[in-house]
Structure 1
Amino acid sequence: MRKILVVGAGQSGLQLALGLLSHGYEVTLMSNRTADEIRSGRVMSTQCMFDTALRHERDLQLNFWESQAPKIEGLGVSVAAPGSWAEGPAARAIDWVGKLDGYAQSVDQRVKMAGWMETFAQRGGQLVIHGAAVGDLDYFARTYDLVLVSAGKGELVSMFGRDAARSPYTEPQRALAVSYVHGLGPRPEHPDYYAVRCNLVPGVGELFVMPTLTTSGPADILFWEGIPGGPLDVFNGVKDPAEHLSLTLELMERYTPWEHVRTAKVELTDAGGTLAGRYAPTVRNPIGRLPGGGLVLGVADVVVANDPITGQGSNSASKCAASYLASILERGEKEFDGTWMQETFDRYWNTAQHVTKWTNAMLAPPPEHILNLIGAAGQLQPVADRFANGFDDPSDYENFFYEPEKTEAYLASVTTGA
């Protein structure tokens, strides 16, 4: 029986550990927190997962909350008219909803990771509560057939060097602020189904609104992404959750008043229901070399960390875990050497590169052909639907998003019915 160590108990680490366990591997999982500490702690992300990622969970029978979490059937885009907030609340220039082919869902990671950790232990995995350092891994690399690092923050990440060719940004491109709330009213124009709402405020930032399932039941997430140094970049140093929510609502009133009208009865889900921070989107080299010469393989956002503007973090983590699981199973009894590690990452990068390209494009000011595409989606439902479904399969954006010629040809084909 091959012995594998997974360091980090997030979406990718837990999904991979549970997948390996189901195939008869001897798996040790290291987490710096217990399930109870995770469950009672602060929110960790926004984690809206689309159809492909959800199917990876179903394949491993880990979709424990699927019947309870809101089924998100649409993805809406609104764009504030540039400069319309100078004299008062912003006005909408664009507003549409694309329908998803398969529904999306968001389950608070405090619920999911705690539940999965308990499942891992119940299914015979060895759970170790310990914040691993590089020195620990130096020892473990000699006692395990493979060490996987899926802890995306802290000292361990420093083992994986930045891939400058794939990382155009060296600084954070957005200041992030999240609030989990109860009491948000429905969108009056689309009250009959759940949708993620992407509100773009040119030159200022973005507000995302999405249904979720949290520790206290169904809720909604209000998520600001502010351009650093701009009017949304005001959450740094805010420790009081009530003040965090108040700031969130004030900014909504000015920049997205059509969303603010839903907030009359809003309150935080719990004292841990806010989160703020920022990080530079980075692709890293996938192999970490330990002081003793051993090699470890980075997983998910350890090696590909994108800005959350495209909502891909948990999706990418799920897809990475599924890809790595397939590579490990195919390896059989052969050594997990450096060549195999690089090939395993490259296989995942075939998918991940599309996420990174799209996310980095969305962080930049949109060129004219993108504005035309987003505007056309308000008049042409097939365009809205295709744009929305790109969140599940970002590789499709290659066909109609990046190059003006392809965008124009696509819009012409929809208009003429060709």
Structure 2
Amino acid sequence: MNGVGVIGCGISGLQLALRLQQLGVPATVYSEHDVDRLKAGRPRNFPARFAPTQQRERELGVFDWDFPDAQVHHWAVTLHTGAPRPLEFLGALRPPSSVVDFRIYLPHLLSAFVDRGGELVIGDFAIEDLAARHDLLVVANGNRSMRELFPADPGRSPHSTPQRVLCSGIYFGIDEEVPHSVDIHFLPGAGEILKMPFLSPAGRADVLSIEAVPGGPLEAARHLDADADPAAFHRDLLDLIAAHAPRLRERIDTTGFSLIAPGELAQGGITPVVRRGWARLDDGTCALAVGDAWITNDPLTAQGANLGSHTAFALADLIAGDEGPFDEEFCRTASARLWEHARHVVEWSNAFLAEPRPHVAELFLRAATDPRVADAFISNFHDPVSMWRALATPEGTAAFVATCERQAPPPAAPPKAPRG
């Protein structure tokens, strides 16, 4: 067997390579970046990895962050409805998610792959040049040339433009009302403001992210220039937070608030898209797409890294359980199998970009009055299939709430951290 060529070293590509290695299938990783370059540069994303992803990492022997500064234990949700008081609830995330900068995480996985005898080839490659070297090529790199190889699937891609424009950075100087918690503010018609604890290259810090509806009152954050005038950037950002999430603004120490370092900011727009999952190459062979080469979701539901991990393991099992050939039929069938799970993530993520439907708004109201509903809703972030089943229809929401109400009362809420 000539093995599998994996193009790209994001979470999908590296977990796929590590899993194939574990299953005895030869794999070669092709990457533009070595370990040192993966550690460098601006942040590209701010992943939260939920329990199933962490379990897969434990199976691979690469989970290395089982401590509070790299965890989220609660979500504090605020829905600003225009009423004098917003709708609020606190939900426990059981077990906690893991929040580790990919500039820490990805080099760790790549080093493990190489240390275990995996082949890493550094360079900029044309996919046609690699096809003859392997029984199967898997593309996990979402750069422009790869996107052209896998065109958008219009039946699965309802959006052609960004539904949010982002201003997301890693900061010092934000206090926590509840230890190890995410704060998310839903602002219908404007977007979302999120604060999340994060293990960064500079240690424990917080992600502060504004997801703005294009043309709405939060879009100004997308255009703030942190490099040209850092003081003005921080001042104008805090003014936006004060106007739209005043309780969050109260917990930010003006004198200590700053990006953890120059450049620790990501701004831009993301268009949610599902691309064709496989492609026929010029020589007649086929390639599969996973990760960013296949699906790009808005980060609001925090499912990108988790979908990438799930897809990597599922594909590795399909490859290891098949004697080949890894031809068009295999690629078509494998992509269809992977979509069975991925579609729940895509449909949920797209739904969350719209204003809440009445039955979802009712679920938020029930969560605000019943901690059992709040905890179950937040913990469902671990399971996108179950989450979408609960949110997709009024009947699903009613069944979800009824199940929660049959449970015993939850433990007491955690103590609030003292204000500094």
TM superposition score normalised by structure 1:
0.90
Q: Does 1:367 align with 2:360?
A: no
| Equivalent residue, structure 2, for 1:256 | 245
Q: Which amino acid aligns with 1:154?
A: R
In the aligned structure 2, how far is the partner of 1:334 from the partner of 1:416? Answer: 49
| Equivalent residue, structure 2, for 1:309 | 300
Q: Secondary structure at the match of 1:49?
A: coil
Q: Deviation at 1:414? A: 5.1
In the aligned structure 2, how far is the partner of 1:52 from the partner of 1:294? Answer: 33
Maintained 8 Å contact 1:69/1:105:
no
Q: Which amino acid aligns with 1:280?
A: T
In the aligned structure 2, how far is the partner of 1:370 from the partner of 1:358? Answer: 12
Maintained 8 Å contact 1:73/1:195:
yes
In the aligned structure 1, how far is the partner of 2:133 from the partner of 2:407? Answer: 61
- Summarize the alignment of residues 115-194 of structure 1 with structure 2, pairs less than 5 Å apart: 115-132=108-125, 136-187=126-177, 190=178, 193-194=179-180
In the aligned structure 2, how far is the partner of 1:138 from the partner of 1:178? Answer: 36
Q: Secondary structure at the match of 2:217?
A: coil
Q: Does 1:220 align with 2:206?
A: yes
Q: Deviation at 1:203? A: 0.9
Q: Does 1:94 align with 2:87?
A: yes
Maintained 8 Å contact 1:7/1:13:
yes
Aligned-residue sequence identity (percent) comes to: 31
- Structure 2 counterpart of 1:107, from 95, 100, 110: 100
For 1:247-284, what per-residue CA distance to the aligned partner results, in whole angstroms no more than 9, with x for missing partners?
43222111111111121122211223110111211111
Q: Deviation at 1:375? A: 1.4
- Structure 1 counterpart of 2:269, from 268, 278, 281: 278
Q: Does 1:385 align with 2:378?
A: no
Change (3 A) 1:58 1:149: same
| Equivalent residue, structure 1, for 2:339 | 349
* Range 243-252 or range 224-233, more displaced: 243-252
Q: Secondary structure at the match of 2:133?
A: coil
Q: Secondary structure at the match of 1:317?
A: helix
Maintained 8 Å contact 2:165/2:212:
yes
In the aligned structure 1, how far is the partner of 2:316 from the partner of 2:68? Answer: 28
| Equivalent residue, structure 2, for 1:210 | 196
Q: Deviation at 1:293? A: 2.5
Q: Deviation at 1:329? A: 1.3
Q: Which amino acid aligns with 1:34?
A: D
Q: Which amino acid aligns with 1:271?
A: P
Q: Which amino acid aligns with 1:156?
A: M
Q: Which amino acid aligns with 2:244?
A: Y
Q: Secondary structure at the match of 1:391?
A: helix
Maintained 8 Å contact 2:285/2:327:
no
Structure 1: runs of 5+ lacking an equivalent: 85-90
For 1:337-364, what per-residue CA distance to the aligned partner results, in whole angstroms no more than 9, with x for missing partners?
1111122222221211111111111111
| Equivalent residue, structure 1, for 2:19 | 19
Change (3 A) 1:56 1:415: closer
* Range 253-262 or range 115-124, more displaced: 115-124
Q: Deviation at 1:109? A: 0.5
* Range 235-244 or range 21-30, more displaced: 235-244
For 1:124-154, what per-residue CA distance to the aligned partner results, in whole angstroms no more than 9, with x for missing partners?
222222133xxx2112101111111001232
In the aligned structure 2, how far is the partner of 1:244 from the partner of 1:274? Answer: 11
Q: Which amino acid aligns with 2:258?
A: E
In the aligned structure 1, how far is the partner of 2:148 from the partner of 2:37? Answer: 26
In the aligned structure 2, how far is the partner of 1:288 from the partner of 1:314? Answer: 23
Maintained 8 Å contact 1:224/1:248:
no
Maintained 8 Å contact 2:31/2:124:
yes
Q: Deviation at 1:206? A: 0.4
Maintained 8 Å contact 2:372/2:407:
no
Q: Does 1:240 align with 2:213?
A: no
Maintained 8 Å contact 2:171/2:207:
yes
In the aligned structure 1, how far is the partner of 2:400 from the partner of 2:27? Answer: 48
Q: Deviation at 1:76? A: 2.2
Q: Deviation at 1:50? A: 0.8
For 1:91-144, what per-residue CA distance to the aligned partner results, in whole angstroms no more than 9, with x for missing partners?
651111111221101110011112222222222222222133xxx211210111
Change (3 A) 1:21 1:397: closer
Maintained 8 Å contact 1:75/1:196:
yes
| Equivalent residue, structure 2, for 1:88 | none
Q: Secondary structure at the match of 1:390?
A: helix
Q: How many residues align?
A: 403
For 1:357-405, what per-residue CA distance to the aligned partner results, in whole angstroms no more than 9, with x for missing partners?
1111111111222111111101011111121122111211344322224
Q: Deviation at 1:407? A: 2.8
Q: Secondary structure at the match of 1:141?
A: helix
Structure 2: runs of 5+ lacking an equivalent: 409-420
In the aligned structure 2, how far is the partner of 1:284 from the partner of 1:321? Answer: 17
Change (3 A) 1:376 1:239: same
Q: Which amino acid aligns with 1:233?
A: E
For 1:180-222, what per-residue CA distance to the aligned partner results, in whole angstroms no more than 9, with x for missing partners?
01232111xx2xx312222101110001211111111111111
In the aligned structure 2, how far is the partner of 1:122 from the partner of 1:408? Answer: 50
Q: Which amino acid aligns with 2:120?
A: L
For 1:294-320, what per-residue CA distance to the aligned partner results, in whole angstroms no more than 9, with x for missing partners?
211101232121111111111111111
Q: Secondary structure at the match of 1:234?
A: helix
Q: Which amino acid aligns with 2:290?
A: V
Maintained 8 Å contact 1:79/1:92:
no
Q: Deviation at 1:236? A: 4.3
TM superposition score normalised by structure 2:
0.90
